[in-house]
A = this chain, B = another copy of it.
Amino acid sequence: MADIREVAKRANVSPSTVSRVLGGTTRVVEEKRARVLAAIDELDYRPNVSAQSLKGIRTRTIGLVIPNVRNLVLPAAIRGVEDVARNHGYAVVLCNTDEDSEKEQFYIKTLKSRLIDGFLFTTAKINSHNIKDLQAEGFPVMLLLRELDEQSHAVVLDHYNGAYQATNYLLSRGLKKIGLVNGSLDIKLYDERYAGYRSALKEAGLKVPDEAVVHGIDGGIEAYRAATRILLNRVDIDAFFATSDDKALGVMRAIKDLGLSIPGDISVIGFDNADIALLLDPPLTTVAQPLYEMGAAACQQLIEMIEAKQPVTPQIQRFPAEVVIRNSVK
């Protein structure tokens, strides 16, 4: 690749001038400016990012730290992140941590020495120490699909309201005995979804059917086992609220394997509106998270933080959930 000196030579100006037309920091007389632009074009010159970053210029690279790409919901959010990143000339480096603190540590280290401009975390059980440290060092940090505290920027769903709506929708369909297949209560969002579910039941004057409520479920297989157990115990249930679509998938399998029909015998509502929800049998009624939009908003905000002169005050953007009605509820 051509360097700035070649461009300067060809345009018959000094490297400083070339730098100036690129950076737009100082005016350059129109004639030279045109020559420089022409030379840049002819040589297909692009400034060397390493050299720039050495001078304290942003690298236009962000680190996206997630538990695992191999997941029903993250890819949509990642796409949102990446699309706005690209539109702003940013590149995103992808880091899977499997919620493993050591891998997270490793990535933070390598990313820092790679002079990344900012971090975007989408991990559920994160080592919050890491985040705090990063913030203290002055790195822009954004949280996506999770939140830490009032001091941290985040883009999240209104999980409470989503679960509240889901439960109310079930109730509105005349379903009163609603089991819950939920994730770990240590993860804030599952705690909130649980709260939304309880509120709706309470408002309806119903009490939580404890024998049909299970927490700490991770993934479709565990959900399958949990639902099977509940059903085998002959708990009287007419619907399941699975707090993620992959759990819903497992629950549906369990119901069918026991020879019951959906939604004839038991209704199922999920959470996430993953891409596959539409293609299940029956198509899954679920609570939609605007994943793509949330990813985009988080990235947008992160870039604003990166490019802001002074620190921007922390803000938590809470996106509304929406139940999308398909055929898995009576």
Task: Report A's interface with B, CB cutoff 8 A.
Answer: 1, 46-51, 53-54, 59, 61, 64, 68-71, 75-76, 78-79, 82-83, 86, 89, 91-96, 103, 106-107, 109-115, 220, 246, 249-250, 252-253, 256, 275-276, 279-281
A46-B109, A47-B113, A50-B115 known; 18 other A-B pairs, CB under 8 Å? A48-B113, A49-B50, A50-B51, A50-B53, A68-B79, A69-B78, A70-B75, A70-B76, A79-B96, A82-B95, A82-B96, A86-B106, A91-B95, A92-B93, A250-B279, A253-B281, A280-B280, A281-B281
Closest to A257 in B: B281
A94 pairs with B78, CB closer than 8 A: yes
A94 pairs with B93, CB closer than 8 A: yes
Q: Could you list 13 A-B pairs, sorted by A, with CB under 8 Å?
A: A1-B112, A47-B113, A50-B54, A50-B59, A51-B54, A59-B114, A70-B275, A78-B94, A82-B96, A86-B103, A86-B106, A91-B93, A94-B94
Closest to A63 in B: B91
Chain B residues, Cβ within 8 Å of A64: 94
A279 pairs with B249, CB closer than 8 A: yes
Nearest-CB distance from A190 to chain B (Å)? 21
Closest to A282 in B: B256
A114 pairs with B61, CB closer than 8 A: yes
| CB within 8 Å for A220 and B114 given contacts A69-B78, A75-B70 | no
In whole angstroms, what is the CA distance A275 to B221 when docked?
12
Closest to A116 in B: B91
| CB within 8 Å for A75 and B86 given contacts A94-B94, A279-B253 | no
In whole angstroms, what is the CA distance A276 to B220 when docked?
10
B61 pairs with A69, CB closer than 8 A: no
Nearest-CB distance from A327 to chain B (Å)? 11
| CB within 8 Å for A91 and B110 given contacts A82-B96, A279-B250, A279-B253 | yes
Nearest-CB distance from A137 to chain B (Å)? 9
**A246, A252, A281: residue with the most chain B Cβ atoms closer than 10 Å:** A281
Chain B residues, Cβ within 8 Å of A249: 276, 279
In whole angstroms, what is the CA distance A59 to B110 when docked?
11
Chain B residues, Cβ within 8 Å of A46: 109, 112-113
Chain B residues, Cβ within 8 Å of A78: 69-70, 94
In whole angstroms, what is the CA distance A50 to B57 when docked?
11
Chain B residues, Cβ within 8 Å of A75: 69-71, 75
Closest to A292 in B: B70
Closest to A91 in B: B93
Chain B residues, Cβ within 8 Å of A276: 249, 276
In whole angstroms, what is the CA distance A252 to B281 when docked?
9
Closest to A281 in B: B281
In whole angstroms, what is the CA distance A49 to B112 when docked?
9
A-B pairs, top 10 by smallest CB distance, nearest first, are: A46-B113, A50-B50, A50-B53, A69-B75, A94-B94, A70-B75, A93-B93, A249-B279, A91-B93, A49-B114
